[in-house]
Amino acid sequence: MLTPTGAGKSVVTKSLTAARPSGLSSSAAAHGGGFGPAALRFFDELADNNSREFWTAHLEVFEREVKAPMAALLASLPEAYQPFRVFRMNRDLRFSENKSPYKTQHSGVHGSGGIDY
């Protein structure tokens, strides 16, 4: 879902709890079939163990189950919403009371700086 944020920007939000078409495996999710149960498990486990050690040990899961489906979702958006950028997964801790190093969601924005997949 695209949500206008003002100043010509839009944010894409994708619920990881949305049902996937039946018959798609976790690996199919990584190839454009949506976010699978492994993505939910990854974020649940990250919330429980938000550390650099967990992140580096599970980076392959993030890339396969979260990053690849997000890239497919963003690539499927109409040209009018391109370029679409994603936010970093690491948090800026300088001014935050929450010192968890990683975000427990993945998001992107239209009409702003960021990184390309």
- What is residue 23's predicted lDDT score, i.e. its pLDDT? 37
Helix (H) or strand (E) holding 109: strand 108-110
Mean pLDDT rounded to a whole number for the chain = 75
Instruction: Provide the whole-model pTM.
Output: 0.64
Residues 96-106: what's their mean pLDDT?
A: 86
Q: What is the pLDDT of residues 28-54, one digit of tens each?
A: 444 456 889 999 999 999 999 999 999
